[in-house]
Structure formats: C-alpha cells, structure tokens
Amino acid sequence: MNLPPAQPKLHWDIFCRVIDNFGDIGVCWRLCVDLAQRGQTVRLWVDDASALAWMAPDGAPGVTVLAWSTPFAHHSQTPGDVLVEAFGCEVDPEFIAAYAHKIRATGQTSQWINLEYLSAEAYVARCHTLPSPVMYGPGQGLAKHFFYPGFTPDTGGLLREADLLQRQASFERSAWLTTQGIAWQGQRLVSLFCYEPAGLPALLHTLAADDRPTQLLVTAGRASAAVRRLVEHEISLQPFINKGQKLSISYLPLLSQADYDHLLWACDINFVRGEDSLVRALWAGKPLIWQIYPQDDDAHHHKLHVFLDWLQAPPALRRAHQRWNGLPGRGTDDVNAPLFTTEDERTWQAACQRAKQTLLQQNDLASQLLDFMTKTH
C-alpha cells in the first residue's frame, strides 16, 4: 500500500495587513488555526489585531499573534520555515533579509508563499503555484510561489477544517438561538452581513410582503447601521416590522468566528459579503446571496459573473445577485418588486447543496499548502 508522504512539522510566519477587519484578518486567522490543528507552529504578524478580541477571544493553541509595526521592531525574532505574504502585503526587508540568511545558511529550500485573493476567474488555475523569482533586494536569488484559493481542483481550494462536517452534524439550531437571546418559533431565519447593498430596500420589502413570518438577523457594524437607516426613513416598511408583524429584525452583537458559522447554519437564507463569509456560507449549504467587494474599475462585475457560472446559478439567483450588487442588467429599479420568491428559494437550495458537495470532493486550502511544502521541503 502506498502511504501519503508524512507532512513536515514546520514553523510558519503569516503576515497580514488589515484593510477590512472582517476579511483579511478573518481569512488569515482561520488559516493559522487550521494549520495549528494539524500540528504546525504558526506566528501571525498583523498590523491591527483588535478584531481578534471578538473574532477569536480565546486565541488558539499553536498560534502566536505578534504586532507588525513599521519600522519593523522584531529584529530578534528568527524567521520560521515558511513565509506567507497574505493578499499582496509586502514583508519588511529586515525580515526578508533574515529569512534569506537562514535559507542560505541551512541549505533549505525557500518556502515563500504569496497567498492571493479568492476568485473563480480562469487565470487562477493558470497562475496557481507558479514561481516568482526575486530579482532584487534582500531576498534576491530566492523564489516565492503564488498560491491561489479557488473553487476547482486545479486551484488551492478553500479553507475547511477537518472537523467541519462533524461540528455541523452536532449543531442544534434551537439551543444556539436561545444562547443568542433569539426567541425562535419556527419562522424563516435570514442572516444579513453586508456593506450598503443597492438591493437592501428590495430585500426588506420582499420579506415584509411575504406571507411567511421572517426574522432577519443583522450582524453588527455596517449591516446594522444600513438597516436602521433604511427602516427609519422607509415609512411604508414600518407597519410590517416587529410588533408581532410579518418581519422581525434582530440586531446581533459582534460574533466570534465560531458563532458566525453557527449563524449561517441556523438560517434558511444567508446574505454574505467579501471572501471569508462567502466560503463559510458555501459550507453551510444554504441559499446565499453574495455582496462582492466593489472595485473602482468595476472589475468585480466579471468576478461575480464567473462565480455564478461556477455555481451554476439559476436565472433568478443571477438576477437577485445583480440587484443586490447594483449591477447593470438587474432588470428592475422598483424596490417593491420581490428580490426572490418561495420557488426561487427551493432552486437556490439545490444549487448551493450541489456546490457544497462538489467542493467536499476537493482538497482544502491548508491540506494543499502542506502538500506543497512536502514537495518543496
């Protein structure tokens, strides 16, 4: 019998600059924890760790968080075996020089990774694991490799903890909702994590007009602020919200990553934003609508469309994404037009379950990183 090669026990330095507290650091923290749970030793260097106070209040065994300051203030720290630049952040030349010195002195292979953003675009598969020779500076002569998360087997895959399915199977929705102070009596549950989407008025009108009672669970921060503003100014909505009416709104506190997962598992429809919450919603296997991070040149339009192509999204799900994100071709500007129907929810459920099962057949991101290190170690 051919056994898989043993995975080396390595020391990882993962660098993260926080642009969006919920995104960059959220992905990096999940990666750090996943690697540590597989026997790796990880240091997370981050310029703003404040979000971890609520995102991961208990920390994680095997993960050390270090302040990444400029100028670089940790000259005494010996670099580990693997250097990861997350999302194009540039590591300080002092640390690169120390890493290069260690590589040359020990004769090790350079294990320098540029971890890229998630996309379903075709270039991801073409560029995944390509080397990038360092031509100048303190790392001259070394090489770093591009590592692209993705949705297909020829990419780096998605973050997925080894015990994810086991935790999902043991999850008890009613019990968790009770711990959050939510009195659930069987009504439809919808989670909302967003910026200020163009389709937010349409969503509230859709839920308020539906015959089924719905509880909207709104995450803290920009989502809560956007909903509160809309409810305050939309007079036509006010008779339908709370007070025992069809639509109830609950404003949630900041949730840890574990509890955010629980929120997605508990809800019947999930509205998510950015990269980390999209991946977690895919693992939840529930109908989802994604607010993609907007870019000034509208490059996010194509990025959204190719994701929907991969998802094999039904036409109604495509239209809902277009309206939600304010993309051309959304079909109507009437906020009173339903964003979706009951029949739409059923077709979306089938598409999202199919996507989850497809992804479960592929290797996850941490496993692929470790396999890549085994080949280059």
Q: What residues are labeled active site?
A: 24, 275
Lookup: tokens for 144: 């770093």
Distance of CA 110 to the CA centre of its chain: 28
CB burial of residue 131 (10 Å; 0-12, 13-18, 19+):
exposed
Residue with tokens 């890493």: 99
SS (H, E, C) the chain: CCCCCCCCCCEEEEEECCCCCCCHHHHHHHHHHHHHHCCCEEEEEECCCCCHHHHCCCCCCCEEEEECCCCCCCCCCCCCCEEEEECCCCCCHHHHHHHHHHHHHHCCCCCEEEECCCCCCCHHHHHCCCEEECCCCCCCCCEEEEECCCCCCCCCCCCCCCCHHHHHHCCCHHHHHHHCCCCCCCCEEEEECCCCCCCHHHHHHHHHHCCCCEEEEECCCHHHHHHHHHHHHCCCCHHHECCCCCEEEEECCCCCHHHHHHHHHHCCEEEEECCHHHHHHHHHCCCEEEECCCCCCCHHHHHHHHHHHHHCCCHHHHHHHHHHHCCCCCCCCCCCCCCCCHHHHHHHHHHHHHHHHHHHCCCCHHHHHHHHHHHHC
Angstrom distances, CA of residue 229 to CA of 48, 191, 205: 29, 18, 15
Cis peptide leading into 314, omega within 30 of 0?
A: no
